[in-house]
Structure 1
Amino acid sequence: MSHISPVAPPPPPAPLLKVTPVAPVVTRERTIVNITSDECSWAWEYPELQKGCYLSRVCQYAPPKHCQYYSVPSILQVGPTCGLTALSILLGGQPTAARLLEDAINQEFTINGELFSAQYLFELTRKYLPGPGACQLHQGNLSCKKVKELLKAGGCLLVPYDADVNHAPCLKSGHRAHWALIVGYLVDIQDNYYVLARHGKTNNLAVWSLEALSESNANLKEFAQPKGYPDNDFLQPPGGIGGSLGLNERSILVNGLPQQVLHVR
């Protein structure tokens, strides 16, 4: 891993009354870890992983049985563009989320950057990941053999879920729908399965239970007006977010990234 001098993280973007294509904030900085105990010391060579596990209280005192992930740069979203930002992270920041927003608007997939349809994001992903079989739309439980085998083989996932105040998966019936990119996985000594995620609300690498993410993905059934945008119109697919073109039990499976996956254990 390259070592880059730490810098202070950028401030969060201010709420926008009208969303316009604005360049996102892309960061490639060495993660600052301020852990005074020996927690998660097994991951000291991978600071972003160590911090993610420490914050999530995962593998605090014992290393995982298996862990691998892609160390991809974080991108902070501008406006309600979480799905487009997650796709831009997958694509290494090129195209930018702002460019993807222009494309999505032209295809009538979105108004402000929102993507309440996994089918729409799948169409965009397939456009920018050329080649047969580069990605596929998955319907069903995430905590399954197919998804685990994909991750083990170096694959990634674009997943919609309900985000809690700390951005972790929760059950709000779709009222806090958000998108994340799953870049790896971890199995602890009790055989609990976790996924490692990037998304547009933080620079931190997230560590979540796959079962919790799967349950959150399966509870996306209702649209709620985002609190930060009370006067904006948002586009839903026919049938709403719980329909066949929506988000409920939908995700996008990606074969992998061109860079090397890190095998921690």
Structure 2
Amino acid sequence: MPHISAPPPPPPLPSGIKAAAPVAGSRTKDPPAVINISGDECGWAWEYPELHLGCYLNRVCQYTPPKRCQYYSVPSILQVGPTCGLTALSMLLNGNPTAAEILQNAIAQEYTINGEMFSAQYLYELTRKHLHGHGHGACQLHEGRLECDKVKELLRAGGCLLVPYDADVNHAPCLKSGHRAHWALIVGYLADAHDKFYVLARHGKTRNLAVWPLDDLSESNANLREFAQPKGYPDLAFLQPPGGLGGSLGLRERAILINGLPQQILHVR
């Protein structure tokens, strides 16, 4: 099995970066997205503070600008409880409906008990319902590796993805066999000077924009095989689909492709 190494600890913030205060009641220790960034590293992105910080912290395109980069500036929403998939869907919908409102619908459809979403098929059904006004084919369920031309072409065309993966302690993709399953909303991409393909992501455990290699996310998505009781919720019951995480209704090698968002896409380069 391929091994994904966690990125090295980020360097200290350059002078001029001022982190906003954490949101009251949030469960994440990460600082929210910041403004007023200055400094030489990743200077090509200085007009886009969230992108600038994301690339700086992940050491992506530090001194050489990317060949191509575009993304949607989607406001972050922090999840409450084990609702990462529903929160990612709410971010896709610009917060309307809220994750709490989607949760009530998901419970009524018997897709979840506490907000957990261990079935890409179930989240796809919810996504399709809430995108019904965006025309036929607004979203589709992808089966197979994410590291493929189909996904790259979708992102280049301004599309988005809802992707399950294993989240490491820094929320980056890792390989834990599905024991740390989490959902992210992919809002754009970046191709560096060597044509390495990165995705730009939002998820419910931080306000920062994440920047991950697509091949790392693809490997993490493909390793979602089995459920493990989340340490933060030792007493909650969680609903798994027939066949478990690795089955046809589960998470392994599954993602939801969305043709685009109504918001304006930012073409950085």
Please report the TM-score for the alignment, with normalisation by the length of structure 1: 0.90
Corresponding residue number in structure 2 for 1:77: 79
Q: How far has the Cα of 1:12 moved from its partner?
A: 4.9
1-structure distance, mates of 2:131, 2:213: 28
Contact 2:131 2:138 in 1 (8 A): yes
Q: 5+ residue gaps in structure 1?
A: 16-28
1-structure distance, mates of 2:198, 2:36: 21
Corresponding residue number in structure 2 for 1:203: 207
1-structure distance, mates of 2:193, 2:36: 24
Q: How does 1:121-160 map to 2 (within 5 A)?
A: 121-130=123-132, 131-160=135-164
Equivalent residue letter for 2:98: T
Corresponding residue number in structure 2 for 1:60: 62
The CA RMSD over aligned residues, in Å, is 1.7
Q: How far has the Cα of 1:7 moved from its partner?
A: 4.5
Q: How does 1:99-248 map to 2 (within 5 A)?
A: 99-130=101-132, 131-248=135-252
Equivalent residue letter for 1:164: D
Q: For 1:9, which of 19, 22, 32 is the aligned residue?
A: 22
Q: 5+ residue gaps in structure 2?
A: 1-17
Contact 2:42 2:55 in 1 (8 A): yes
Contact 2:167 2:173 in 1 (8 A): yes
Contact 2:33 2:208 in 1 (8 A): no
What is the aligned length? 247
Contact 1:72 1:89 in 2 (8 A): yes
Please report the TM-score for the alignment, with normalisation by the length of structure 2: 0.89
- Identity percentage of aligned residues: 77
SS at match of 2:233: coil
Contact 2:61 2:192 in 1 (8 A): yes
Q: How far has the Cα of 1:11 moved from its partner?
A: 3.8
Q: For 1:31, which of 31, 34, 40 is the aligned residue?
A: 34
1-structure distance, mates of 2:254, 2:25: 29
Contact 1:175 1:222 in 2 (8 A): yes
Contact 1:33 1:51 in 2 (8 A): no
Q: Write the deviation string for residues 23-73 of structure 1: whole angstroms up to 9, x where unpaired.
A: xxxxxx8723656x4110110000000000001000000100000000010
1-structure distance, mates of 2:208, 2:236: 29
1-structure distance, mates of 2:20, 2:152: 35
Equivalent residue letter for 1:119: Q
Q: How far has the Cα of 1:195 moved from its partner?
A: 0.2
1-structure distance, mates of 2:193, 2:88: 30
